[in-house]
Amino acid sequence: MPTEKSSPPPARWCGVGSADASAADPGASAADQALLHHNPKLVVVFCSEALDVEGALRAIRARIDAPLIGCTTAGEIVTSGPRDASIVVTVFGGDGFAIDTARAEGASHDLRAAGANAARCVPTSDAHPHRVLLLLTDGLAGDQQEILRGAYGVLGATVPLVGGCAGDDLKMSRTLQLHGDRILSDSVVAAGIASNAPLGIGVRHGWRRVGEPMLVTASAGNRVYTLDDRPALDVYLERMGASAAPGTSDEGLARVALTHPLGLSRPNGEEHVRFIGGADFAERSLLCVAEVPQGALVWLMTGNAESMLAAADAACDDSRAALGGRAPVGMLAFDCIARRGVLGDDGIRTEIDRIAACAGGAPVAGFYTYGEIARTKGISGFHNQTLVVLCVA
Q: Is the pLDDT of residue 199 over 60?
A: yes
* pLDDT value at residue 225: 98
d(CA 44, CA 111) in angstroms, rounded, equals 23
Q: Within a domain: residue 3?
A: no
Q: Between 145 and 136, name the one with better pLDDT.
A: 136
Instruction: Give this prediction's pTM.
Output: 0.89
Q: Do 56 and 114 share a domain, yes or no?
A: yes
Q: Is the pLDDT of residue 258 over 90?
A: no
What is the tally of structural domains in the chain? 2
Q: Within a domain: residue 109?
A: yes
Q: Do 133 and 65 share a domain, yes or no?
A: yes
Q: Between 267 and 29, name the one with better pLDDT.
A: 29
* pLDDT value at residue 5: 46
Q: Within a domain: residue 257?
A: yes
Residues 6+ apart with CB under 8 A from 43: 31, 34, 60, 64, 66, 67, 68, 69, 70, 89, 90, 91
d(CA 329, CA 319) in angstroms, rounded, equals 13
Q: How many CB atoms lie within 10 A of CB 176?
A: 22
Q: Do 49 and 101 share a domain, yes or no?
A: yes
Q: Within a domain: residue 375?
A: yes
Domain's final residue, options 263, 284, 302: 302
DSSP classification of residue 328 = P
pLDDT in tens, 261-293: 899 887 666 678 888 878 999 999 999 878 899
Residue range of the domain that includes 167? 13-203+307-392
**Inter-axis angle of helices 337-359 and 305-321, nearest 10:** 40
Q: Predicted confidence band at 255 (pLDDT cuts at 50, 70, 90)?
A: confident
Q: Do 186 and 106 share a domain, yes or no?
A: yes
* pLDDT value at residue 188: 98
Q: How many CB atoms lie within 10 A of CB 109?
A: 11
* pLDDT value at residue 163: 98
